[in-house]
Amino acid sequence: MSKTSNDLHEMPEEVLEGDRVVLAFLDDEDSEELLYLVDSSREELDVFLPWVESFLEMGDAYSSISAYKMQRDMANGGAFGIRRIEDGALLGEVILQWIDWKNRSVSFGYFLGSEFWGEGYATEAVKLALDYVRRLGMHRVEISAAVENKRSCDLAKRLGFEQEGVAKDAEFLHGKWHDIARFARIIPN
C-alpha cells in the first residue's frame, strides 16, 4: 500500500493555552454549544460569512465539526474551538483550512460570537494558532476576508500579515459580489 504525503505528518491534538483563551479541536459534544453561538450572533455573522445562512440546526453543527474532524484525521486541517479560560465559554473558532504540507502553507479562517468582539480574544486565538502551525513546520499562513470586514482585515494587519492583493468579485453573498482581501505572513523557523 502506498503512502500519501499526508501519511508522514501528524497534527497533535494538544490544548493551546494563552492568557485568556484556550484552543482545542472541536468534537461532537461541542455541536450544541457551537449552534447556540452561531444562533446568538446570526445577524452579525451573516454579513460576511456565507456559511451562516445554512447553519441552522443541530445536524448542521454536527456535520461541520465532523467534516473538520475528518480533515484533521487526514492531517490537512481542522477547527479549533476558542474557549475563555475564566468560564470555559465557547467564543468562536479558528479554522486551519487545507494544510499544504509540500509547500508548508495553510490558510486560517476565524470567527467570534458578536458579544465577544473588540476584547482581543480573536487576536490571542490567532496568535496561538500561528504558534501551533509554526511548530508543525509551516512557512506561510494566509487569511482572506471581505474588504468591508474591517475587524478581520485589521486583525490580520495587527498580527503582521501583509495584504498581497484583492480578489475582485470573489464572493457572492446576499445578492451582490464582494471583493476579498488576501493577506499572508511568513513564519520564521
How far apart CA 147 and CA 54 sit, in angstroms, is 23
- The DSSP result for 105-161, as a single string, is EEEEEEEE-GGGTTSSHHHHHHHHHHHHHHHTT--EEEEEEETT-HHHHHHHHHTT-
Judge contact between 128 and 14, C-beta under 8 A: no
Mean pLDDT on 181-189: 94
- Domain annotation covers residue 178: no
pLDDT tier at 4, thresholds 50, 70, 90: very low
Query: Residue 57 sits in a domain of what CATH number?
Result: 3.40.630.30
How far apart CA 121 and CA 18 sit, in angstroms, is 10
- pLDDT at position 149 is 96
- Domain annotation covers residue 65: yes
pTM of the model: 0.93
Q: Looking at per-residue confidence, does 3 or 66 come out higher?
A: 66
pLDDT tier at 5, thresholds 50, 70, 90: very low
**Which residues span the domain enclosing 99?**
14-138
Q: What is the pLDDT of residues 28-39, one digit of tens each?
A: 999 999 999 999
- Domain annotation covers residue 84: yes
Percentage of the chain exceeding pLDDT 90: 91
- pLDDT at position 13 is 87
Based on the structure, what is the number of domains in the chain? 1
Q: Mean pLDDT score of the chain, rounded to an integer?
A: 94
pLDDT tier at 3, thresholds 50, 70, 90: very low
- Domain annotation covers residue 87: yes
- Domain annotation covers residue 72: yes
- pLDDT at position 31 is 96
Q: What is the pLDDT of residues 95-140, one digit of tens each?
A: 999 899 999 999 999 999 999 999 999 999 999 999 999 999 999 9
- Domain annotation covers residue 152: no
Judge contact between 6 and 101, C-beta under 8 A: yes
- pLDDT at position 8 is 63
How far apart CA 68 and CA 48 sit, in angstroms, is 21
- Domain annotation covers residue 167: no
- pLDDT at position 22 is 98
Q: What is the pLDDT of residues 141-183, one digit of tens each?
A: 999 999 999 999 999 999 999 999 999 999 999 999 999 999 9
- Domain annotation covers residue 158: no
- pLDDT at position 142 is 98
